[in-house]
Structure 1
Amino acid sequence: MNIHEVEKRKRSGDFQNNTNISLVNKYVYFAVDKAANSTVKHCLFEIEYRPVNKTILDIYDPRASPLLSPYQIPQDYFSSIMSGKDFYKFSFVRNPYSRLLSCYLDRIQTRTSRPSREFRKALGRETFTFSDFVTLVCSQASKAQNSHWREQSDDILFDLVDFDHIAKFENLWDEMEFLSKKIFGDVREEMVNKSVNSSPKQTGSDSKLLEYYDQYLLDMVYDRYSKDFENFGYEKVVI
């Protein structure tokens, strides 16, 4: 994988932090923020730690992860992982409308969060609305976007990676069962434990779309995130 091609689409730090590699179980998980990332990582971490009876310290700090980042693997070996068929490559994606709203309700309205600080700095003021948020993020190129609202096609390097499966957030637990069979050969208890939801804040954004969106904003998101709608089969909403 050519790092220069990666850096056209996303920040190199995000590439390192959100590319999760298991050498033991032979998979690569391309994490997408606001698309079940916390839950998926929690389940995977439990499986990775079970043989050594360790507990999860922090699913958000890559330094505490049992999964490796690309920089921790020799470049030629990482290239062979990405070009070969020995490692199962997967990701989770989400409807762009609800993902942006979830980001706004969780990360942007929580003013102490890094994404909120980054957004307010780019906006140039402290007061804002959902319309301000959508307008600004839709004006940004993917590389300039924060990972919580980056176009998912660029975030997972859709056109650079030969994925085995791209799962849908909307079918989370069916997808987790499917992935468990593919990666581990059976249905692992950790992968279907529906009591696990490690997201720091559940926003219920799927049921709130029309409370925040009007047709103008819906069209703006559809135009800016057109690759996500096309690549992942999400439909345009018309009120």
Structure 2
Amino acid sequence: MGFPGTWMTQSNSVAYRVIPKCACSTIGQIMYYSDHGEFFDGDVHDATSGIHKWGIEESKQNIIDRMRAQDTYTFTCVRNPYTRILSSFFDKICGIQRNGNYYRGNMVPKLIAQYGIENTGDFDQIKSFRRFLLFARDTIRFRRPMDPDIHWSSTSGHASTLIVNGGRYNKIITTENFKEGMKDVMKNVDAKHELDIDTMPRFNESEGHGPKRAHPVADYFDDLSIHLVYEIYKRDFDMFGYDWQDPSRKEPIKEIDLDMVHAVLGD
């Protein structure tokens, strides 16, 4: 399998396992800047040079060597499952993507028809999101009507591939404490160019794709929705310390135990 979703600076100073909807655009830009002294001009996901990526054939062997040697500082970033699945809904289901089309072509019209989701105009965001949640659960638990998408697949599932294939995380940070986490990461990186995390721009390439969230996070989750989210993301809550019983509680309630993460996700 190798190391899908892994990015690394060209200087081999730091490696990062991408987890969608968890500040990956900003992290990629920080890595790019640390090598080049400037941000990538555009969406860093589109970069095909200036940074190593598993998706770039010429980068693969270098990533394999560094991950299996475990001699490059390696980290990832996770997010509260409630805000992550909500963000996926507004971006990927309600939003028009950069190419001017719905995400994944006919997927959105198909699930709108099958699940009764509305996504345009003055629609009921809460009702439509809860129907989307059923769709996401069906893809993850039953792989129907399609395989799960990377944007709502579990964060622990993404993170596990690096461990299973011989890598090890030095740090796992959270989007909720992003600046502090990235500062800690960069303290351990021999960067060619220093970057002030506090004053740097925020890169959110999905911002503006879809409608603004009209309600507080907790309003989207009734009792059934809470149990659906826990059913889908139980391992994420357990691994990364989030409170599954309270959707309004954004930040984790306990520290991430790296040894436990490696033991459980590497099994």
TM range (shorter): 0.7 to 0.9
User: What 5-or-longer segments of structure 1 have no aligned partner?
Assistant: 7-14
Distance in 2 (CA, whole Å) between partners of 1:177 and 1:193 is: 12
Distance in 2 (CA, whole Å) between partners of 1:117 and 1:105 is: 17
Deviation of residue 220 (structure 1)? 0.5
Alignment match, 1:145: 148
Alignment match, 1:215: 223
Alignment match, 1:12: none
Distance in 2 (CA, whole Å) between partners of 1:194 and 1:54 is: 10
**2:115–2:132 Cα contact (<8 Å) kept:** no
**2:74–2:170 Cα contact (<8 Å) kept:** yes
SS at match of 2:130: helix
RMSD: 3.0
What aligned pairs does 1:25-36 form with structure 2 within 5 A after superposition?
25-36=12-23
SS at match of 1:92: strand
Deviations, residues 4-23 of structure 1 (Å, cap 9, x unaligned):
xx7xxxxxxxx2xx321224
Distance in 1 (CA, whole Å) between partners of 2:87 and 2:60 is: 37
What letter is aligned with 1:208? Answer: P
Specify whether residues 117 and 228 from structure 1 end up closer, same or farther in structure 2 by C-alpha distance, changes over 3 A only: farther
Specify whether residues 126 and 220 from structure 1 end up closer, same or farther in structure 2 by C-alpha distance, changes over 3 A only: closer
Distance in 2 (CA, whole Å) between partners of 1:126 and 1:141 is: 16
Specify whether residues 54 and 166 from structure 1 end up closer, same or farther in structure 2 by C-alpha distance, changes over 3 A only: closer
**1:36–1:199 Cα contact (<8 Å) kept:** no
Q: Which moved more, 1:23-32 or 1:217-226?
A: 23-32
Alignment match, 1:9: none
Distance in 1 (CA, whole Å) between partners of 2:231 and 2:193 is: 39
Alignment match, 1:166: 172
User: What 5-or-longer segments of structure 2 have no aligned partner?
Assistant: 118-127, 248-267
Distance in 1 (CA, whole Å) between partners of 2:230 and 2:34 is: 37
Distance in 1 (CA, whole Å) between partners of 2:111 and 2:6 is: 26
1:83 to 39, 56, 68: 68
Specify whether residues 92 and 231 from structure 1 end up closer, same or farther in structure 2 by C-alpha distance, changes over 3 A only: same
Deviation of residue 98 (structure 1)? 0.7
Q: Kindly indicate whether residue 110 of structure 2 is the aligned counterpart of residue 104 of structure 1.
A: no
**1:19–1:29 Cα contact (<8 Å) kept:** yes
Distance in 1 (CA, whole Å) between partners of 2:39 and 2:226 is: 45
Over the matched positions of the two proteins, sequence identity in percent amounts to 21
Deviation of residue 187 (structure 1)? 9.5
Q: Kindly indicate whether residue 55 of structure 2 is the aligned counterpart of residue 73 of structure 1.
A: no
Q: Kindly indicate whether residue 186 of structure 2 is the aligned counterpart of residue 180 of structure 1.
A: yes
Q: Kindly indicate whether residue 127 of structure 2 is the aligned counterpart of residue 121 of structure 1.
A: no
Specify whether residues 187 and 212 from structure 1 end up closer, same or farther in structure 2 by C-alpha distance, changes over 3 A only: farther
SS at match of 1:189: coil
What letter is aligned with 1:139? Answer: D
Structure 1 runs (4+) greater than 4 angstroms displaced: 122-127, 202-205
1:232 to 230, 240, 263: 240
Higher helix share: 1
SS at match of 1:38: helix
Specify whether residues 114 and 87 from structure 1 end up closer, same or farther in structure 2 by C-alpha distance, changes over 3 A only: same
Distance in 1 (CA, whole Å) between partners of 2:177 and 2:91 is: 21
What letter is aligned with 2:6? Answer: T
Alignment match, 1:48: 35
Distance in 1 (CA, whole Å) between partners of 2:29 and 2:191 is: 19
Deviation of residue 116 (structure 1)? 7.9
Q: TM-score, normalised by structure 2?
A: 0.71
Q: TM-score, normalised by structure 1?
A: 0.78
Specify whether residues 227 and 55 from structure 1 end up closer, same or farther in structure 2 by C-alpha distance, changes over 3 A only: closer
Deviation of residue 214 (structure 1)? 0.6
Deviation of residue 147 (structure 1)? 1.5
